Structures are given as C-alpha cells and as structure tokens.
Amino acid sequence: MAGLVLLASLSLARSAVGAPETCLGADEIHEAVAQRQVIEPKAAILIAHQLVPGADVMRGGLCCQGEALIYRILVLRKDGRLVHVTIDGPSGKVLRVDPP
C-alpha cells in the first residue's frame, strides 16, 4: 500500500520531449493493477532499487504516455545524485535510466 501512495503522489509530469503526461491517482492505479494492466507499484519500486542499489525512492508515478502506461520513479543515490527510472507498466521492462 505504501508503494501505491508513493506512486499516486504525482498528478502531472512531462516526458523527455516535453509533451504533457497524465499521471494516475491512487484509485486509478489500484484499478489498473486489479485489471492486470500493469505490474504492482511495489514491483516497480523493487526494480528501481535493483538498478540503483542503496538508493532511496524519492517519488514516483504511473503515467499515461500516449497509449502506454509507464512508471516514472525518481531515486536518490548515496552520492546525492538523482536518477530517473522509467519502467514499462505492463511488462516491468526498464525503458530508460537517466543518468545511466
């Protein structure tokens, strides 16, 4: 449940190309998970932790990018640098890590 609350904290984000994305609220995330449209938020958070070991998750959201559902997760590395992790909602595949 904590993952769901964390990921629902974003309401609007911008993609890398500047086009607006609509991020889902807690109820919409719950519904998408219940309908098996996306992996659970805690799974997306675990993937981000595996990519950036020892980092703290600062915020995240499940957003619509066109027709696609993607998790956007911001993590803080131990050296103080922020890392943006983009994960495909349905598959859990890592789409982008910035900076690498």
Report the CATH number at residue 62. Answer: 3.10.450.40
Q: How confident is the model at residue 6 (pLDDT cuts 50, 70, 90)?
A: very low
pLDDT in tens, 10-41: 333 444 445 567 999 999 999 999 999 999 99
Six-digit token string for 24: 């889902």
Nearest residue to 88 (alpha-carbon basis) of 99, 79, 97, 80: 97
* Structural domain harbouring 90: 2-98
Q: Is the pLDDT of residue 69 over 70?
A: yes
Quick one: the chain helix, strand, coil %, rounded to 5? 25, 40, 35
State how many domains the chain has.
1
From CA 93, how far away is CA 61, in angstroms rounded? 16
